Amino acid sequence: MSQLRTVQVLGGGSAGSSAHVRSLAAGLVARGVRVTVCAPAALEREFDFRGAGAHFVPVPRRGDPVAVGALRAVCAGADVVHAHGLHAAVRTALALGGRRAIPLVVTWHTFPQALRSGRAGGTPFHAEGARGRLLGVLERRAARAAAVVLGTSSDLVDRARRCGARDARLAAVAVPGPRTPAPDGKARAELGAVDRPLLMAVGSLVEHRGYDVLLDAAHHWKALDPVPLLAIAGEGRQRAALQRRIEAEALPVKLLGRRDDVTELLAAADAAVLASRWEGRSLLAQEALRLGVPLVATAVGGIPELVGDAAELVPYGDAAALGDAVARLLADPGRCRELAEAGLVQAAGWPTEDETVAQVLSVYDELTQRQGL
């Protein structure tokens, strides 16, 4: 049998989807599959797809004829093409030009950014106006062009089916687990949290992460003694606005910017906080549970099925509930220990990287056999 050839396509590439493609590439190469990754050059520098054994072709995150043509040339020699995310899926469908001879697999890692306008409870709704209508059209086009849509949470699978996917399946995405660092007080000392509780939030500083609600919740912690420090690792367009609020309201919050020691910071924290409007398989939630760090998170998207009973869950947008949940947790060491232990148990039940690769490869085999390859 000839060597299976697959092309993995990333658009902008969130940290989760890019880490997944890196893991997937390494696992497929180890199983004898020829893997080519098409993505913006910046992602290769950060995730080193070549280091995983894949061929890498830089393709910018654009939908112009030049970018689509470059993608078309790479995909022409593939047995299966696998796109990750909405924009990558739409561009790849254009590149394939409706050629069903090359099966297209699409993984939906998250909802499109502008669709995340949900209320408490976490169900996203379409954005208003022309952009919302356009995103709806793109979703339907991507879903219908795919031979198989893989959703990282049940609500994504349901949405793909509503958008007309011929075959939509749940496919939990495993990414490498964090290296467990040795106990070290340097991280807390650097942040000024030696004699006070340390809370960690991680993620890009954009609207759907719910940092405005998180800052509202921080008002509740100002009455605690000692006052907890909330450290936020991440960068994004909301940074200036968040910093203005922190200073104007004298909030016990530090914006750390982009960090390469997130695992160490998280391991040093007393609790992790996730205030997002929507999440699929949140990297922060996964790392916190794997490290045994108690987690307070919004009950949205794929979070409840990801964490089970191993986290304190609150409604999205309810700053009082979020603040109270954190305060109760910090005042109850026994509950912290319970959540830490439950997190380790919950994480042990998640699919491994090998199981994730095996599931994806079984989809490829199914599609290529159907094509008679």
> pTM score, two decimals?
0.84
169 & 257 share domain: no
Is the predicted pLDDT of residue 217 greater than 90, yes or no? yes
Same domain, 17 and 164: yes
Q: Which residues contact 171 (CB under 8 A, 6 or more apart)?
A: 107, 150, 151, 152, 356, 359, 360
**With 50 as the cut, is the pLDDT of residue 322 above it?**
yes
Within a domain: residue 180?
no
The count of residues in the chain is 373
Q: Residues 343, 356: one domain?
A: no
pLDDT of 124 over the 70 cut = no
In this predicted structure, the answer to whether residue 180 has a pLDDT above a threshold of 70 is no
Same domain for 360 and 337, yes or no, is no
Same domain, 327 and 363: no
Confidence of residue 276 (pLDDT cuts 50, 70, 90): very high
CATH number for the domain harbouring residue 143: 3.40.50.2000
Task: Give the model's pLDDT for residue 294.
Answer: 98
Judgement on whether residues 306 and 362 belong to the same structural domain of the protein = no
| Cα 346 from chain centroid (whole Å) | 18
**Domain annotation covers residue 307:** yes
Q: Which pLDDT band holds residue 260 (cuts at 50, 70, 90)?
A: confident
303 and 234 in a single domain? The answer is yes
Is 227 a domain residue?
Answer: yes
Cα–Cα distance list, 106 to 49, 84, 286 (Å): 19, 6, 23
The yes-or-no verdict on residue 13 having pLDDT over 70 is no
Q: How confident is the model at residue 118 (pLDDT cuts 50, 70, 90)?
A: very low
**pLDDT at position 183:** 59
Q: What is the mean pLDDT of the chain?
A: 89
Number of domains in the chain: 2
Residue 109: predicted pLDDT = 86
pLDDT at 174 over 90: no
Radius of gyration of the chain from Cα atoms?
21
Q: Give the model's pLDDT for residue 281.
A: 86
pLDDT value for 213: 96
The answer to whether residue 181 is domain-embedded is no
Q: What value does the mean pLDDT take over residues 55-66? A: 86
pLDDT for 78 equals 95
- Taking only the tens place, the pLDDT of each residue in 277-299 is 988 888 899 999 999 999 999 99
Residues 140 and 201 in one domain: no
Whether 129 and 112 have beta carbons less than 8 Å apart is answered as no
Q: Which pLDDT tens digit goes with each residue over 221-242?
A: 988 999 999 999 999 999 999 9
115 within some domain: yes
pLDDT of residue 5 exceeding 50: yes
pLDDT at 1: 52
Residues 142 and 191 in one domain: no
Q: What is the domain extent for residue 310?
A: 186-348
ω into residue 183 within 30 of 0, thus cis? Answer: no
Residue 179 lies in a domain: no
Q: For residue 197, is pLDDT > 90?
A: yes
Q: What are phi and psi of 181, to 5 degrees?
A: -75, 155
User: Cα 76 from chain centroid?
Assistant: 29
The pLDDT of residue 134 is 77
Query: Which of the four pLDDT bands, split at 50, 70 and 90, describes residue 116?
Result: very low
Residue 150: inside a domain? yes
Residue with tokens 């339907």: 140
Both 194 and 234 in a single domain? yes
State whether 81 and 116 are in the same domain.
Answer: yes
If asked whether residues 216 and 286 sit together in one domain, one would say: yes
Helix (H/G/I), strand (E/B), else coil: 4? coil
Separation CA 114–CA 217 (nearest Å): 25
Specify if 358 maps to a domain: yes
Under the banding of pLDDT at 50, 70 and 90, the label for residue 365 is very high
Does residue 48 surpass a pLDDT of 80?
A: yes
